[in-house]
Chain A
Amino acid sequence: MSLFVRFLGWFENSEKLYIAMEYFEKGDLRQHLGERMSVPMAKLLLSQLLEGLNVMLRNGIAHRDIKPEVLIHSTSLSCEHRNDKSPLTRGTEHIHSLPLPAPCKARRLRGIKVYQRTHHTLHTGLHALIRRAGNPGGTGFIFGDIRVHLRGGHLVAGMRGVRGLCWERALPDRMLRLAFLQWKSWTYAWTFKGGYE
Chain B
Amino acid sequence: MLGPLKEAMSEEGGFEFVCGLLSPDPVGRPSAVEALRDPWLKVAGGAEK
Contact = CB atoms under 8 A, between A and B. Distances in A.
Interface of A: 39-40, 43-44, 46-47, 50-51, 53-54, 57, 90-91, 93
B41 interface: yes
Interface of B: 12, 14, 31-33, 35-36, 40-41, 43-49
Contacts of B47: 40
B43 A43 contact: yes
A24 to B, nearest CB: 19
B33 A54 contact: yes
Contact of A47 (B12, B31, B36): B36
A31 B41 CA distance: 24
B8 to A, nearest CB: 11
B48 A50 contact: no
A50 B36 contact: yes
Contacts of A91: 48-49
Given A90-B48, A91-B49, A47 B41 contact: yes
A47 B45 contact: yes
A91 B12 CA distance: 21
A170 B31 CA distance: 46
B36 A51 contact: yes
Closest 7 CB pairs of A and B: A47-B45, A40-B44, A54-B32, A53-B32, A43-B45, A39-B12, A43-B44
Nearest to B44: A40
A50 B29 CA distance: 13
A46 B48 contact: no
Given A54-B33, A57-B32, A46 B49 contact: no
Contact of A44 (B31, B40, B49): B49
